[in-house]
Amino acid sequence: MESQVVDGFGVAHFLSQTDLVGRLVLLVLLLLSLATWYLIVTRSLAGFLAQRRARAFLARFWSSSSDLQRRLQDEECNHAFARLAAEGLDALADSGGGVSLAAAGGFAEYLSRRLNHVIDDEAAAAEYGLTVLASAASAAPYIGLFGTVWGIYHALVQIGLSGQGTLDKVAGPVGEALIMTALGLAVAIPAVLAYNAFNRRNRLWLARLEGFAHELYVLLTVKSVAADAADAQLRRAGQ
């Protein structure tokens, strides 16, 4: 008879015997786990596609011998590097048209503001989902621990009411209550690993983007200076 009672303990038995508080804890852990794995899958896929597009774009961009406008003519602005190049060309076109913003601080300052705006937008977009991952990583163990404490309390109350305080009557319910802690850790560990991996990916991505922006800045400012010099020569020739 005792062996049948011991064999009855387990995850299924715990889930069937837990009360409303325990089920709410399980629901919260389930939601955190679903959110974590959704972000892991979607962000990993998006990062992979963005990296592949960026590599192909940079290879085409730096290997082309045509001017910048023709290099971007057939490109889709579906990643940050293409948007950065397009923004730089728009700034160059605006300065050539005498836009007041460009005239106010000079082309170099205007171009720097435009490029920094793209980088800031990309940095903000890269933060998507990290708050949820950080919350899951930090809160899930404590939520699981709360479920364990509540389960132990509930089990001890039931044992006290039954008047049977032997080891075999205590060990089973207490061991079942530890399932909550294990579930909390199962939610938190992937969230911690994903948060660290995405943070590293974001740092490398933004570093590459800033390096490309610097090279683009030098390229466009030199182009602007050359265009200004050519215009000056034409004006002197016309005089």
pLDDT of 50-85, one tens digit each?
Answer: 888 888 888 887 776 666 666 666 667 777 888 888
Q: Quickly state the pLDDT bin for 140 (edges 50, 70, 90).
A: very high
Is residue 234 a part of any domain in this protein?
Answer: no
132 assigned to some structural domain: yes
SS (H, E, C) the chain: CHHHHHHHCCHHHHHHHCCHHHHHHHHHHHHHHHHHHHHHHHHHHHHHHHHHHHHHHHHHHHHCCCCHHHHCCCCCCCCHHHHHHHHHHHHHHHHHCCCHHHHHHHHHHHHHHHHHHHHHHHHHHHCCCHHHHHHHHHHHHHHHHHHHHHHHHHHHHHHHHHCCCCHHHHHHHHHHHHHHHHHHHHHHHHHHHHHHHHHHHHHHHHHHHHHHHHHHHHHHHHHHHHHHHHHHHHHHHHC
The answer to whether residue 128 is domain-embedded is yes
Predicted pLDDT of residue 137: 94
In this predicted model, what pLDDT tens digit does every residue of 94-107 receive, in sequence order? 765 455 555 456 77
Mean per-residue pLDDT, 173-196 = 88
Percent of the chain at pLDDT > 70 equals 69
Most confident of 73-82, 148-157, 208-217, 221-230: 208-217
Higher pLDDT, 14 or 125: 125
Highest mean pLDDT among 22-26, 76-80, 169-173, 225-229: 22-26
User: Total domain count for the chain?
Assistant: 1
User: What pTM was computed for the model?
Assistant: 0.75
Is the pLDDT score of 3 beyond 50? no
Domain that holds residue 56: 2-229
- The arithmetic mean of pLDDT across residues 100-127, rounded, is 79
Using the predicted structure, report yes or no on whether residue 9 has a pLDDT greater than 70. Answer: no
Whether residue 238 is contained in a domain is answered as no
Whether 236 maps to a domain, the answer reads: no
